[in-house]
């Protein structure tokens, strides 16, 4: 029986342990958790007292992250991550009020898919805008996603390790003082090829739209 090696880049993306009996190998996951943001209750404003409209906007900002595992519709999960448990798995956070993440992943045959969504609450709209711009600098090479939140950006990258391709799409959307970050990737462990850019980008944007809609409905 031919052994199918798992690239190190994907080892940290597979959770919980999934056993492929036909090939005799197991997959594990432990996604990284970015640093938590400052307390959302500490709101600041650089506007002068003569600008009450900006102050009002700050007061209306989100103060807590919504439940992430309920933010993606069952239909979307089934279409993007075939075979995954639609309930998802929330990743532990050091401050669940300000940052919450949910993940879905599954290996169907030799075809692997991973989806996660994070809500990151910033102390102000201005802070969220600054962080959004910094993320775009880190994830250069993509393009804007019209009609998604106050602003949104999508980028897709292909990586190859041990001849195994993985294509990953990331959508970063800003809604007031919250960043909604959606990640979607996939690989085929039999052909060693990755899904097309269009498949991954379209899927990531679809999930991001679900997440943004859920965030707006949580107010």
Which pTM was predicted? Answer: 0.74
With contact defined as beta carbons under 8 Å apart, do 11 and 166 qualify?
Answer: no
Distance CA 34, CA 158 (A): 22
Distance CA 30, CA 114 (A): 12
Confidence category of residue 138, pLDDT binned at 50, 70, 90: confident
Per mean pLDDT, which range of 25-39, 77-91, 184-198 is the poorest? Answer: 25-39
Distance CA 141, CA 201 (A): 13
Q: Tell me the fold of 64-217.
A: Jelly Rolls (2.60.120)
pLDDT at 185: 98
Confidence category of residue 141, pLDDT binned at 50, 70, 90: confident
Confidence category of residue 15, pLDDT binned at 50, 70, 90: very low
Each domain of the chain, given as residue ranges in start order, spans 64-217
pLDDT in tens, 164-187: 999 999 999 999 999 999 999 999
């Amino acid at each position: 029986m031919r052994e199918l090696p798992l690239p190190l880049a994907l080892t940290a993306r597979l959770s919980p342990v999934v056993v492929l009996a036909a090939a005799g190998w197991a997959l594990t996951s432990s996604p990284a958790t970015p640093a938590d943001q400052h307390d959302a209750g500490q709101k600041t404003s650089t506007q002068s007292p003569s600008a009450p409209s900006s102050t009002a906007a700050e007061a209306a900002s989100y103060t807590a992250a919504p439940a992430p595992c309920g933010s993606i519709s069952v239909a979307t999960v089934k279409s993007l991550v075939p075979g995954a448990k639609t309930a998802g798995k929330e990743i532990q956070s050091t401050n669940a009020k300000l940052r919450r993440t949910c993940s879905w992943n599954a290996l169907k045959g030799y075809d692997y898919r991973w989806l996660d969504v994070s809500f990151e609450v910033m102390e102000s709209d201005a802070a969220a805008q600054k962080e959004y711009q910094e993320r775009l600098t880190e994830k250069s090479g993509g393009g804007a996603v019209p009609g998604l939140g106050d602003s949104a950006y999508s980028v897709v990258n292909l990586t190859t390790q041990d001849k195994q391709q993985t294509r990953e799409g990331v959508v970063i959307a800003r809604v007031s003082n919250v960043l909604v970050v959606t990640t979607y990737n996939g690989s085929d462990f039999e052909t060693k090829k990755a899904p097309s850019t269009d498949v991954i980008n379209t899927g990531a944007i679809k999930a991001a739209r679900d997440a943004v809609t859920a965030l707006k409905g949580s107010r």
